[in-house]
Amino acid sequence: MESIISTPKDEPFPYKAYFLEKKEDGKKFVGLFAHEMVPVELIRASGVHVVPLVFVGPEEYSSTGGSFITHSACSFARNIVGGFIHGDISFYKYIESIIRTNYCNGDFIGMEYLCREYNMPCIDLSIPMKTQGYSLAFFHEQLKRFKQKLEDVLAAPIDEAEIRRQISIHNNLRQVLRRLLDLGIRGAELLHRYQEAAVLEPAEMIARLDCLYFQEAAQHSPPSSSSSSNPRIMLSGDPIFINDFFGDWLEEFGATIVYYDTWIGGRMAEFSIDEVDPDVYHALAKGYLMEQGLERSVPAAMEKRIKRVSSKVGTQKIDGIINHTLKFCDFQAIGRTEFKDRLGQHVPVLDIERDYAQSNLGNIKTRVEAFIELVKGGA
Ligand code: SF4
């Protein structure tokens, strides 16, 4: 594992070898599709290996997925389902059970299909849509039930001391991830670190970041992308998932992202779980619902998002925002116009809606290049 963890920062991370090694260690694999609001600390406390379903493939996957689940599901959910059907993402076949939530349409429909067709148990978690006191109490109760379901399906008792240990180590990772921005890591390099952090176990990711950036030897070589004089661009909205070519395209077109306002991005690191709360379930519910999930909650999700992004525009000295929407993602699509109109009064905003088709390359290139010229003119 040590050689995998220390893979050089400019080389693709060997996810396949990583999962194979976990499998050889005899770990059970649990698939996790839902974004950002499932306390992974609880799942990892059961001793299983979490396989986040964040590996996408070509457009063909989305078409295949669309033949089995509704075409009104987002292109990401269809792509993940298509990835299972094509069977090219080899480590998916080790998954024995799947977490299913009501986070969004894509999660519920996609995971229902996979559990049924691949005969895997679904471990359900209900996530509230509001952040009132009663919503917090509801989520608190749901997390206790979730723990019970994990124990039943995985046949592994979950010890409270282990939950606390997991909370502490995940908090440590969040702290280390925050330091990447201070080092000036940006662009595809920054994106790859966030993608790895979404997949690796937290202690391994901390060791990886230590080896790449924080050990004495690493400090002699400054981050490869830190000296760029390109305008400071924020990517907001849907994240760029692993294997998606979009991150490289943006870099090629001159858009170097300095802040990813996405859940596989800066937002992974900007909350923490209270380690001294005597009730671990309350601590997890509060952290994930009241800090991490604010922009999914109704009413006023857009107000919260605009407030947060505006503040980041100031602190990260952002010159322009690319608002990224994956086709049929309801969360993102609903507020696109309002986001552009309101934030556009302060900083240029480019609104891009896309799927995994490569045929859009020319169109996106023209729009991104024109946007960068506009931003440069005003920077
Ligand atoms: S891209 Fe949007 S609709 Fe699709 S799974 Fe993610 S949040 Fe849900």
**What's the confidence (pLDDT) of residue 274?**
98
pLDDT at position 307 over 50? yes
Q: Answer whether 186's CB lies under 8 Å from 203's CB.
A: no
CATH no. of 2-158:
3.40.50.11890
Nearest residue by C-alpha to atom 5 in ligand 1: 106
**What's the confidence (pLDDT) of residue 334?**
87
- What is the arithmetic mean of pLDDT over 69-81? 92
Instruction: Tell me the CA–centroid distance for residue 316 and ligand 1, in Å.
Output: 26
pLDDT tens column, 5-40: 999 999 999 999 999 999 999 999 999 998 899 999
- pLDDT bin (cut points 50, 70, 90) of residue 331 is confident
pLDDT at position 64 over 60? yes
Predicted TM-score of the model (pTM): 0.95
**What's the confidence (pLDDT) of residue 299?**
85
- What is the arithmetic mean of pLDDT over 275-296? 94
Two tokens, residue 321: 């925002």
**What's the confidence (pLDDT) of residue 34?**
84
pLDDT at position 264 over 70? yes
pLDDT tens column, 97-123: 999 999 998 999 999 999 999 999 999
Instruction: Tell me the CA–centroid distance for residue 105 and ligand 1, in Å.
Output: 7
Check for a shared fold between 2-158 and 166-378. yes
**What's the confidence (pLDDT) of residue 224?**
54
Instruction: Tell me the CA–centroid distance for residue 221 and ligand 1, in Å.
Output: 38
- Express as a percent the part of the chain with pLDDT over 70: 96
Between the alpha carbon of residue 45 and those of residues 50, 142, 165, the distances in Å are 11, 17, 8
What is the CB < 6 Å shell around ligand 1?
35, 74, 76-77, 104-107, 238, 326, 329-331
- Express as a percent the part of the chain with pLDDT over 90: 85
Q: Which of 330, 334, 352, 353 to mutate to test the pocket of ligand 1 (most atoms within 8 A of CB)?
A: 330
Instruction: Tell me the CA–centroid distance for residue 293 and ligand 1, in Å.
Output: 14
Cα distance between residue 339 and residue 334, in whole Å: 10
pLDDT at position 369 over 70? yes
Q: What is the average pLDDT value for the chain, to the nearest integer?
A: 93
Nearest residue by C-alpha to atom 2 in ligand 1: 329
* Domain spans, the chain: 2-158, 166-378
Q: Closest Cα partner for 31 from 88, 75, 96, 104?
A: 96
pLDDT at position 219 over 60? yes
Q: Specify the ligand 1 atom closest to the Cα of 74.
A: 4
pLDDT at position 220 over 60? no
**What's the confidence (pLDDT) of residue 226?**
46
Instruction: Give the pairing type, strands 349-354 and 320-326.
Output: parallel
Please indicate whether residue 296 or residue 259 has the higher confidence score (pLDDT).
Answer: 259
Q: Which of 38, 75, 76 to mutate to test the pocket of ligand 1 (most atoms within 8 A of CB)?
A: 76
Instruction: Tell me the CA–centroid distance for residue 162 and ligand 1, in Å.
Output: 31
Instruction: Tell me the CA–centroid distance for residue 377 and ligand 1, in Å.
Output: 34
CATH level 2 (architecture), domain 166-378: 3-Layer(aba) Sandwich (3.40)
- pLDDT bin (cut points 50, 70, 90) of residue 49 is very high
Edge-to-edge, what's the strand order for the sheet holding 257-261?
A: 257-261, 233-237, 320-326, 349-354
Supply φ then ψ for residue 96, to 5 degrees: -105, -25
Residue 299 is given by DSSP the state S
pLDDT tens column, 225-237: 544 578 999 999 9
pLDDT tens column, 144-154: 999 999 999 99
